[in-house]
Structures are given as C-alpha cells and as structure tokens.
C-alpha cells in the first residue's frame, strides 16, 4: 500500500511538471508569434515608407524636367495619345529648339517610362505634326528621364488624360500634365506594391503657355 501511494505521488508530481512545461511552451509560442508579427509589420512599414519616398523623389524629378521645359517654351507644336497608348507632347523653346516628351505605358515585364529627345527641324521638313508620330520620326537618341529598373525603379502609368491642352477665348492656353507612378513591375506582390490603392502616386502640373 505504501509503495503504491508513493508511485501515485511520483506520477502526480511528474504529470504536474509536464503540464507546466506545456503551458510554458504555449506561452513562449504565443509571445514569439506576437513579437514576430510586430517585427514583420515594422519591417513592412519601413519598406513601404522607403518605397513611397523613392516614388515621390523619382516622379517629382521627372515632373520638374517637363514643367521647366514647358514654362520656357514658346508654342506647343503638337500633342497626341496614339493607338499604342503613348502620350506625346512637342514644344519649341525660345531658342527655336524642339523638345519632345513621350510617355510609354508599362508591360507585364517592363516599367512604363518617360523619354525626352530633341528632334531637328530637318527631320520633319516643316510638318510639325510628324513630331507626334514616332513611327515617322523615331526617338533614336532619346534620354530616358525615369528609372526603368523593374525592381528598384519606378513605373509610369499614363492615359488619354496625361497630356491635356485647354484653350479659352481671349486667354492663353493651358497645358496640363498628369500621370501616376507605381513601383517597378518586378518588385513582387504584397504590401510593397500596395501604393495608392493600386493606382500609384499621382503627379500633376499645369502651365500657362507663353
């Protein structure tokens, strides 16, 4: 009888120790999960902040180039949104130099981007509308003014309203440039490309023509 009682006591002590271990492991697991989730959210938040900063910096840089060119331009030679979804504007500067900006839409594997070039008047032989036709006068020596890297760069999203010219009787024309900027197309799915509810960060400027 005494031996059986001792065995029961020992078994009870062993069982209590096992329960304590299981409870401890469970608590550690819960705490570890909470800490891990907190660290992940912090990491994601930092990455998202850096990504938005990169987008704003690159997008604003491109917009500034276009804005300054338009402000010191004389006439707008032509604007178009062609069948390949390219938005194009051509201006003539006060020094009679032609400047052309083209917004190229993104694809599944390449970023949308903005390019700039300086066509010669000899290329279009007096027909300024040809400057808005890349198939007629290609962008052979174009300078790309946005980062096209599919991972670390940005992707420009344009549409039919990207370049809009507004004319009013008795007033100078106004040209408006607006586009959205998204992360590079290969940055991956998830929180990194959930910027602006999927639309990207908007940029816009309006210039009163001289």
**Interval 47-62: pLDDT, tens:** 677 778 888 889 999 9
Lowest-pLDDT range of 19-33, 71-85, 124-138: 19-33
65 falls within a domain: yes
Q: Does 25 score more than 80 pLDDT?
A: no
Q: Does 179 score more than 60 pLDDT?
A: yes
130 falls within a domain: yes
Question: Tell me, what's the pLDDT at 5?
Answer: 47
Burial of 96 per CB tally in 10 Å (0-12, 13-18, 19+) = exposed
78 falls within a domain: yes
For 144, how many CA atoms within 13 A lie in the half-sphere containing its CB? 12
What integer is the mean pLDDT of 157-172?
85
Confidence of residue 28 (pLDDT cuts 50, 70, 90): low
Is the sign of the CA dihedral 136, 142, 148, 154 positive or negative?
A: negative
Question: Tell me, what's the pLDDT at 196?
Answer: 55
17 falls within a domain: no
Q: Does 79 score more than 80 pLDDT?
A: yes
Measured between alpha carbons, how far is 175 from 206 in angstroms, rounded to an integer?
6
71 falls within a domain: yes
Question: Tell me, what's the pLDDT at 127?
Answer: 76
19 falls within a domain: no
What integer is the mean pLDDT of 180-194?
72
Q: Does 31 score more than 60 pLDDT?
A: no
- The domain containing residue 54 runs over which residues? 28-208
pTM above 0.75?
Answer: no
Question: Tell me, what's the pLDDT at 77?
Answer: 83
What integer is the mean pLDDT of 86-96?
86
195 falls within a domain: yes
204 falls within a domain: yes
Number of domains, the chain = 1
């Amino acid at each position: 009888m005494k031996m059986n009682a001792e065995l029961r006591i020992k078994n009870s002590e062993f069982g209590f120790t096992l329960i304590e271990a299981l409870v401890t492991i469970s608590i550690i697991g819960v705490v570890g999960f909470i800490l891990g989730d907190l660290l992940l959210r912090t990491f994601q938040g930092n990455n998202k902040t850096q990504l938005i900063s990169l987008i704003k910096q690159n997008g604003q840089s491109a917009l500034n180039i276009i804005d300054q060119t338009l402000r010191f331009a004389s006439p707008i030679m032509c604007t178009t949104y062609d069948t390949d979804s390219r938005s194009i504007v051509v201006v003539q500067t006060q020094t009679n130099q032609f400047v052309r900006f083209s917004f190229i839409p993104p694809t599944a594997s390449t970023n949308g981007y903005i390019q700039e070039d300086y066509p010669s008047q000899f290329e279009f032989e007096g027909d300024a509308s040809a400057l808005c036709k890349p198939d007629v006068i290609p962008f052979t020596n174009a300078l790309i003014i946005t980062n096209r890297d599919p991972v670390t760069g940005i992707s420009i999203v344009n549409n039919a309203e990207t370049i809009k010219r507004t004319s009013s009787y008795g007033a100078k024309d106004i040209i408006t440039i607006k586009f959205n900027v998204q992360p590079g197309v290969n940055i991956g799915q998830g929180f990194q490309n959930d910027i602006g509810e999927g639309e990207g960060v908007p940029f816009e400027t309006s210039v009163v023509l001289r």
